Amino acid sequence: MSPSPTRAGVVALRVIRQLKRDRRTIGLIVFAPIVLMVLFGYALSGDMSGVALGLVDGGGHDALRDHIESVKDFNILHLGSESDAEKLIGEGRLDGAVVLLPDGVRVLLDASSLQIAGAIAAAVQAGAVAESAVKQTAAPQQGAESSAKSQIVTRYIFGYDLEMMDTVGPAILGLVVFFFTFINAAIAFIRERSQGTLEKFMVSPLSRVEMISGYVLGFSLFTVLQSATTLFVVTSGFGVPLHGSSLTALLVVLILGAGALVLGCFFSNFARSEFQVVQFIPLIITPQIVLCGIWWPLQSVPEIIRPFSYMLPLTYAAHALRAVMLKGAGIGDILYPDLLALGLFFLIFFALATMMLRRDVD
C-alpha cells in the first residue's frame, strides 16, 4: 500500500483536536517560552558589569592607560590595531575600544548601546584629566603643548548591543521548540501504546509512515504557534534584532521541531510511562543545552567533545537562527550546513522511529 496523504491528514486532524483540548499543554507551549525568556532576559542582560573594551596601546599615554585598566567594570582586551578594534565592535564582541597613539587618543564606541558608550567615554575623560595633571607636575613649561597632543577624538561604530540576550535569544527559540516537541511527542506515543491505539493502527490500512507523518503535520501547527509567540517576545520584549525574514526563522524551527518529534517517537520505545519520559530530559535535552553553543561559542567547547556538538540538531538550529535574526541571512545562506543537517537528522530519526514502531509490537 502506498502512503496516502489523506490518512496522514486524518491523523494530523486528530492530533490537533487532542492538543487543542489539552489546555494545560497549550498553556505550556505558549507561556512557558515567555516565562523562560523573561527569566533568561533579565538574568542575561546585566548591562554594566563586564564591559568588553578593546585597548590599542600605541604609546605616549601611560597614565591614561593605567587609569582605564584600573576601572573595575572593564574587561580589557589588548589589540594590535584600530582596524581590529573596529571589526570586533562591528561583530558585537566589544562594546568599545580606546586607541592610544602618541599624537592623540581615539575612542571607538558602539552606537547601539549608548549607556555603555557613555561609561567608556567618561572613563577616558577622567583618565585624560589624570594624565594632564601628571604631565604638568613633571614638566610645567610644556603644559600647553601636551594638552594639544592628547586631543580626544570619538568615533561611533554601528555594531549591535551585545547584551547576551541577543546571541542567546535566537538559540533559545530553537531550544524551547525542541524541548517541548520532544517531550510532548514522546508522551503522545507512550499513550498510543498504553491505550492500545497503536496496536489497532497496526491492524488498519494506516501505515507507520502515514502515522508519523500525520503527527509531524499536526504538531507543526503548534510549533508555529509556539515559535511565533517566542519570536515575538524575543524581538519586541527584549529588542533582539530580526534582520532576516521571520518566515525563514520559522522554517528552521519547523524542521527542528519535526526532528524533535521523530526523536521523541523513537525514544518513547525506551520508556514505559510518562514518568520515564521525563527522565530523558537530563539525557537528551541537557547535552544540547550545554554543547550546542547557546551560551558560549562552539569554539570554547573542548576539541575532544566538539564532534559531538556537531551531531546535535540544536547546534545547527542555533547557528541558523542567529544568522537569520542577527545577520539577515536568507534560506540560501543557511542551506548548507544548517538546514541540510537538520533535514538529515529528521530523516534518520524518521526512519528509525518507523522501524521501532513495528519492533515494539512484535
Partner 1 sequence: MHPAISARGVVKSFGRQRVLDGLTVDIPSGVTYCLLGSNGSGKTTFIRTVVRLLHLDGGEMNVLDTPVSEVDGIYSKIGYMTQHKALYPDLTVEENMQFYAGLYGIGGQRREKKIGELLAMVDLSGHRSRLAGALSGGMYQRLSLACTLIHEPELLLLDEPTVGVDPRLRQTFWEYFGRLTEEGKTVLITTHLMDEAEKCQRMGYMRAGRMAAEGSPEEILRLAGLLPRLMLWLAQPDSDAALLRREGYEAEVSGGIVIVRLESHARIKEILALVSPLDMRLAEPRLEEAFLLLSEGA
By the rule CB under 8 A, 3 interacts with partner 1: no
What's the closest the beta carbon of residue 14 comes to partner 1, in angstroms? 5
Backbone angles phi, psi at 85, to 5 degrees: -60, -45
Tell whether the torsion through CA atoms of 290, 277, 270 and 352 is positive or negative: negative
Is the Cβ–Cβ distance between 138 and 119 less than 8 Å? no
Binding mask 303-342 for partner 1 (x = CB under 8 A): ----------------------------------------
Q: How many other C-beta atoms can be found within 10 angstroms of the C-beta atom of residue 332?
A: 9
By the rule CB under 8 A, 272 interacts with partner 1: no
Please list, residue by residue across 25-50, b when 16 or more beta carbons sit within 10 angstroms of its beta carbon and e when fewer do.
beebbeebbbebbeebbeebeeeeee
Nearer to partner 1, 211 or 258 (CB): 211
By the rule CB under 8 A, 197 interacts with partner 1: yes
With cell 492530533, the residue in question is 15
What's the closest the beta carbon of residue 201 comes to partner 1, in angstroms? 8
Contact with partner 1 (CB under 8 A): which of 1, 144, 247, 304?
1
Is the Cβ–Cβ distance between 85 and 54 less than 8 Å? yes
Stretch that binds partner 1, among 2-10, 124-132, 309-317, 339-347 (CB under 8 A): 2-10
Nearer to partner 1, 21 or 72 (CB): 21
Nearer to partner 1, 115 or 204 (CB): 204
With cell 490518512, the residue in question is 7
Question: Which residues make up the interface to partner 1 (CB under 8 A)?
Answer: 1, 4, 6-7, 10, 13-14, 17-18, 21-22, 194-197, 199-206, 361-362
